[in-house]
Structure 1
Amino acid sequence: MVADTPASFLEPPPAPAEVAQVEAWVREAWENRLASRTYSQELSQKALDLARSTGYLQGEGYALRNLGFCQYQASNFTEALPLLSEGLQIAQVLNDAGLERDCLNYIGAIYAGLGELERALEYVERTYRLNQRIGDQSGIAASLNNIGIVYKQMGREEDSVRAKLEGIELARALQDQPREAFILCNLASSYIPLGRLQEAVQVSYQALELCQALNLKDLEAKVRVNLAEALAQQGDHAKALTLLDWVLEHAQNTGLKEPLIHYWINVATLHASQGSHTQALPALQQALLETQALGAKDLELQVHQRLWETHKALGNFERALQHHEAYHQLETTVRAESVERRLKVFGITRDLEKARAEAEIERLKNVELARALEALHQANLEKSALVQALEEQVIRDPLTRLYNRRHLEATLAREYAQAQHSQQPLAVAIVDVDNFKHVNDRFSHLIGDLVLQKVAEIMSQNARESDFLARYGGEEFVLVLPQSNLETARPVCEQLRLAVAAYDWSTIHPELQVTISLGLAADPHLPNHEKLLDSADARLYEAKHSGKNCLRY
């Protein structure tokens, strides 16, 4: 709710039953987002449709969050981004910190997945500041971990370590063991490339103990992969292999592909570090099959590079060359896909920023209008006149002061439906100023504007009170003649034509002469008002090709 909007101008609230239904669907969808993404999407879409149809803005925001998360989980980043951005806008309008935090967090994750790391850091830091503002200590710990992850992607390993250590300290103070285990696992992955292997081993054992106590088996698989890598680099190959055997068994039991890929890559690394390239080769070939089945191109690149090095070490230069070429072809594909995704995201981001700017301008206009209307209401001075003036601005053409095309469309549709229902005749004429381009070119656009204003004035003076006259666009006008057939409409149109031709146009320019052509239609059997307009337009075409300054029907 916008605080500056007077209560008398607010939409009626949604019914309690509809609110309850939206909230139930949103809640159930969120609870099932990991178990069944398809089910979660279906429920969230139903919630979104109902929330929008009833004006329940908060329900709409949370349904958008759900849908955005599902698209994010499916790696459909360009579909997820506008959904989450719209949810973020709603959260900010409603001052809903929980919704705002969720949307900020997942938008940051999307940008990280797209390699837009500066933007990713901006959003995860905004999430961190929001958690600080609302005093959510658990959220702060999660944000510190996310900041650390983005720092790692940016190659800022030391900054990544500092952020994760701070997150672990806070998680321990909160006794949030699952979060502590998760951040410890991520911390180990930052220690390894820094060569801080003993620290990586130490925090991995801490994470492993927590995972086993809490039965976090999927996370345990990642912890064991990190620990095996650190131990292998320290030369403890036997322990590393034992750790990896558990990962293989877990992956086979659960059907998870990524732990299986890391198992084969690390097994190959162990064999290669011991100089056994022959034993490393089948492990890498298995890893390649798994990466291709999963579509994990970043991991597939690693495997092709390792296969290239392994075949080269074994003297299989032809096979080494094949993997070398496959690596570079895949690298080119990945780079092209990345550029394409970033261009799409750039376009989406640009459109979202434009929409936000336009919405803010509109909001400010609405706030100012609401304040003006409230002041007029309180003072009870000239309220009716101002409201009428504002309404007129919406439906009037600014140049001719006739009705505009949008108002014409609504009026003609209504008149047509009424005529069909009451079986009364209805006629429509399209009017075109003859040789108007010549008027603009020869006498100037200023003279052209004066001509349009005067033609509008003459036609308004000569039309009947029951007739409806509008500017259709450019030099075209439309005259709607209710309860009129061709016989009764024809004299009215002729009167307009003669009045325009008879006017002393030299008052505008000494050499100026203006006439109009008209196309008239009144067929009651046409299926809709658009076809009636099309029929009048066809008659106008005949008039323009019959010497102009005439009426055809």
Structure 2
Amino acid sequence: MTDPDEQDIDADIAQRLAEAKAMFAPKCEECLTLATQVATLAARHGNVRAEAEARLWWGRSLLVMMGAAPALPVLRRALRLALELDDKRLLADVHLSLAQCHVGSNTPAALQNWLKSLELALQIDAVDLYAEVYLGIGNLYLLHDDLNSALHYHAIATEFASAQRDRDLRAKSNIHLASILVKLERHALAEHVLHTAEAELILPLRRDWQAEIYNYLGAIHMRQRHVEQARDFLERAYAINLDAGFLWGQTVNLLGLGQLARAQGDDVQAEQYLLRATEVVAKFESPNLVQQIHLELSQLYEARGDFVRALMHHVGYHDHYMLIMKNDLSARLNSLASRRLAAAEIRLKLLSSEIELSQLRQQTSERASRMKQLEAAAYRDALTGVLNRRALDERLPLEIQEAHEQGYPLSVAVLDFDHFKHVNDRFSHLIGDKVLQAGVARAQETLRDGDLLYRYGGEEFVLVLPHTNAIGALHVAERVRSRVAEHDWDSIVAGLSVTISVGVAMLSDDDQVEDIVGRADAALYQAKQGGRNRVFMQSEEA
């Protein structure tokens, strides 16, 4: 029986945690204080779930107020606790925050955390996280000045969000989309999107997003030389960020006000804004912002003839430029990181199809036809419903890479319907199609979670078996073979008898796609030569 005192403590923890969450947007400092207190109290009383959630909000607050360095250890502790709880939603939220911590310093880590969050979101149909992940990846491309890719991912995120009732999600996605449009100098469209976002804001809760909208509107008016409107929007944004304690927002606003003052020839006012920006940005980590501030100050002092300070800030600009380039270059030079980035792109394309299906299943009946079209689209075989050759070509390299990196076994089986031409010639192609459909359905009944069946072409299929050694693969292949052979084929047409042959190969240390599929295909040939309706295992040396 639970101690009444413990019940009171748990109730107090739950109340404080709810207060911390509620304060994150309007008063980040208060969220930080409350979350820290809750995490400490929950740890003392063994409340793992409350500690994990509190550390998530603690870490998020630190990230907003002080940058990634202090946030990372707090979030990593939250991740360990969430893994202990096996809470997929909490894990997805923590991975999302970890990704945000790594933006600008560790591109592969950011992308991998976003991808993990996306995978977990798919398992629990957390549509809001789909949009969050796409927004994050779009921002990553924006950081590296790949505006077209950023626009692509932000547009997808906005499409996801627009179908939801969540006003917060719709507002946030429109703000991010507008940020790209501003960079692309699509000012009229950006302004329209920003006003759409403003209409969705839940105020006063989302005053930080209101400040962001004002900042972008200020940037638009600055580019259009509407000085008074630009200053008004930037000052309103700064006042909100100052009141809420958002350091990143304050820095961006001060930088914008400094640029505006310089454009008006008011170097004294510009210097004051920019020097204040350097003081604020020193409280958290943002190499890109520091670089921009140094550039503005260097140009300001050079124009004034103060070459000593101009040189000092030029060196600062150059140092941060080299730091950013070094981080980017190290990611590209690290072969493992490069493979992971490529794999992430492949998986993201595959998952985007699944995301759309998951989202559409929640929609109203009038959209059911679109869901069927998507299910029959790029990655699905129209006849059998299994994944198609295109999906295999994109996903199998990823499966092989992960097996190599994580050191687990993987096997591949190639399945072929015996004498299938004879079935078509004797009974018709319509019956042949029914044979493929029924045979695939019987095969799928035997598969385990994680096993994936692809139509390779014609009557040939490929079965990918992660975490499966040679013995396990032989067992799976034999189950599939026997299930197909034992099916009541007379129920389709009298006199019909169908079997399959299966070739199996296990991944070796240096295998790529063509190696393991080639050995499985050779094993299939041996099974055919051995009399059909059988399984054959191909050795690595063959």
TM-score (norm 1): 0.50
Of 103, 110, 113 in structure 2, the residue corresponding to residue 112 of structure 1 is 103
Q: Do 2:259 and 2:270's aligned partners in 1 also have CA atoms closer than 8 Å?
A: no
Question: Measured at CA, do residues 238 and 90 of structure 1 come closer, stay the same or move farther in structure 2, by a change above 3 Å?
Answer: closer
Aligned to 1:88: 79
- The amino acid of 1:217's aligned partner reads R
Identity %: 18
1:129-186 CA distance string (max 9 Å, x none): 2112211122222222222222322333222222222222222221322222222222
Question: Measured at CA, do residues 77 and 48 of structure 1 come closer, stay the same or move farther in structure 2, by a change above 3 Å?
Answer: farther
Of 8, 17, 25 in structure 2, the residue corresponding to residue 29 of structure 1 is 17
Question: Measured at CA, do residues 84 and 202 of structure 1 come closer, stay the same or move farther in structure 2, by a change above 3 Å?
Answer: same
Question: Measured at CA, do residues 229 and 66 of structure 1 come closer, stay the same or move farther in structure 2, by a change above 3 Å?
Answer: closer
Q: How far is the alpha carbon of 1:116 from its aligned partner? A: 0.5
Q: Do 2:67 and 2:101's aligned partners in 1 also have CA atoms closer than 8 Å?
A: no
Q: How far is the alpha carbon of 1:19 from its aligned partner? A: 7.3
1:457-494 CA distance string (max 9 Å, x none): xxxxxxxxxxxxxxxxxxxxxxxxxxxxxxxxxxxxxx
Q: How does 1:214-293 map to 2 (within 5 A)?
A: 216-247=206-237, 249-250=239-240, 259-273=249-263, 276-277=264-265, 279-293=266-280
Q: Do 1:265 and 1:284's aligned partners in 2 also have CA atoms closer than 8 Å?
A: no
Q: Do 2:302 and 2:310's aligned partners in 1 also have CA atoms closer than 8 Å?
A: no
Say whether 1:326 aligns with 2:341: no
Say whether 1:177 aligns with 2:181: no
Quick one: distance in 2 between partners of 1:65 and 1:261? 24
The structure whose Rg is larger is 1
Question: Measured at CA, do residues 245 and 88 of structure 1 come closer, stay the same or move farther in structure 2, by a change above 3 Å?
Answer: closer
Quick one: distance in 1 between partners of 2:195 and 2:11? 42
Quick one: distance in 1 between partners of 2:92 and 2:192? 33
Aligned to 1:99: 90
- 2:45 aligned counterpart, secondary structure: helix
Q: Do 2:63 and 2:71's aligned partners in 1 also have CA atoms closer than 8 Å?
A: yes
Aligned to 1:457: none
1:516-547 CA distance string (max 9 Å, x none): xxxxxxxxxxxxxxxxxxxxxxxxxxxxxxxx
Q: Which has the higher contact order (CA 8 A, sep 6+)?
A: 2
Q: How does 1:467-546 map to 2 (within 5 A)?
A: none
Of 147, 155, 161 in structure 1, the residue corresponding to residue 137 of structure 2 is 147
Question: Measured at CA, do residues 339 and 86 of structure 1 come closer, stay the same or move farther in structure 2, by a change above 3 Å?
Answer: farther
Quick one: distance in 1 between partners of 2:122 and 2:325? 34
Quick one: distance in 2 between partners of 1:171 and 1:67? 26
Of 33, 39, 45 in structure 2, the residue corresponding to residue 38 of structure 1 is 33
Quick one: distance in 2 between partners of 1:249 and 1:78? 26
Quick one: distance in 2 between partners of 1:240 and 1:66? 34
1:479-510 CA distance string (max 9 Å, x none): xxxxxxxxxxxxxxxxxxxxxxxxxxxxxxxx
Q: How does 1:117-136 map to 2 (within 5 A)?
A: 117-136=107-126
Quick one: distance in 2 between partners of 1:62 and 1:250? 27
- The amino acid of 2:186's aligned partner reads R
Question: Measured at CA, do residues 334 and 44 of structure 1 come closer, stay the same or move farther in structure 2, by a change above 3 Å?
Answer: farther
CA RMSD, 1 decimal? 4.1
Aligned to 1:494: none
Quick one: distance in 1 between partners of 2:70 and 2:245? 27
Q: How far is the alpha carbon of 1:339 from its aligned partner? A: 9.0
Aligned to 1:503: none
- 1:102 aligned counterpart, secondary structure: helix
Q: How does 1:182-221 map to 2 (within 5 A)?
A: 182-211=172-201, 216-221=206-211
- 1:32 aligned counterpart, secondary structure: helix
Q: How far is the alpha carbon of 1:215 from its aligned partner? A: 6.6
1:295-326 CA distance string (max 9 Å, x none): 2664444233223223433xx32x14413313
Q: How does 1:281-320 map to 2 (within 5 A)?
A: 281-295=268-282, 298=287, 299-313=289-303, 316-317=304-305, 319-320=306-307
In structure 1, stretches of 5+ residues that fail to align are 1-12, 347-356, 358-553
Q: How far is the alpha carbon of 1:232 from its aligned partner? A: 2.4
Question: Measured at CA, do residues 329 and 137 of structure 1 come closer, stay the same or move farther in structure 2, by a change above 3 Å?
Answer: closer
